[in-house]
Amino acid sequence: MKRKLLLISNSTNAGEEYLGWPRKHIVDFMSDTGIKKLLFIPWAGVNLSDEGLNASFDIYEERVNNVFRLLGMEIYSIHKEKDPVKAVNEAKAIAVGGGNTFHLVYMMHKTGIINAVRQRIFDGMPYMGWSAGANVACPTLRTTNDMPIIQPASFECFDVIPFQINPHYLDANPQGHGGETREQRINELLAINREVIVVGLREATALWIEKGKIDLVGTRPMRLFNYGHEPVEFQPGDDIGFLFKSLS
């Protein structure tokens, strides 16, 4: 299995710089590749400017580039490429930023990049994504936390892992909040989709997938949901290879 993925729950912890906590993991993930330039997909960042989507994507590109330059790399954004599919096919590595997953998936379908990205990942191209960018590595976007601000052609995503991720997973129900907890929402999904496995990926954690192995990295445990079973906690360093049991 050639897949090389870094699926990050969140970009920024409270009080930290942007992409602060995962910087070490990003450097370690890329260190053996020799790749210094990554194609960036900014389409989840819809609200960074009052001057329209392209202005938001420009701001997003520069924000990410400011960090990647510090790490000895740089990114260039797909929103400036005339042929997005060609850009994917020629990319050495891809990074997908967080934001609104529905708009990200809308654009993935509109530009037709889904099959191209999927094939490049299967061929071994490094892929990293945070928040929405981690969500779209899953079979579908159904475990996003985001508001459906636009209707994609399909909920289908890159489908390069056989389970769903719920980024920013929270255990607590905020005081005074009368709605469902995150666990209740995931259990609603499982009641309808009983074959699905969901990983609740807490802040400051990521899944590193490489050479047929999957590891939880970061400082906190993940929470695993499977229909008909109580949720189970797994710590960094625990064996979670069973998540890939359906992969060859």
What DSSP letter does each residue of 87-127 carry, written as one string? Answer: HHHH-S-EEE--S-HHHHHHHHHHHT-HHHHHHHHHTT--E
What residue type is 202 in one-letter code?
R
40 half-sphere exposure, CB direction, 13 A CA radius: 26
Distances (CA, A) of 196 to 77, 192, 211: 33, 9, 24
Residue 131 among the catalytic residues: yes
Helices first, then strands: H and E counts in the chain: 7, 11
Question: Domain 5-244, what fold?
Answer: Rossmann fold (3.40.50)
Q: What is the pTM of this model?
A: 0.95
Span 134-190, pLDDT tens digits? 999 999 999 999 999 999 999 999 999 999 999 999 987 666 666 688 999 999 999
Residue 168 among the catalytic residues: yes
Residue 177 among the catalytic residues: no
Q: Which two tokens stand for residue 55?
A: 């202005």
Q: Do 127 and 160 touch, CB atoms closer than 8 A? A: yes
Catalytic-labelled residue, pool 9, 11, 56, 131: 131
Catalytic-labelled residue, pool 123, 168, 215, 238: 168
- pLDDT < 70 regions, the chain: 1, 173-179, 246-248
Check residue 248 and give its pLDDT: 41
Report the alpha-carbon distance of residue 103 to residue 105 in Å, rounded: 5
Check residue 49 and give its pLDDT: 84
Catalytic-labelled residue, pool 28, 146, 238, 239: 146
Q: Do 13 and 21 touch, CB atoms closer than 8 A? A: yes
Check residue 68 and give its pLDDT: 98
Check residue 34 and give its pLDDT: 96
Q: Do 87 and 81 touch, CB atoms closer than 8 A? A: yes
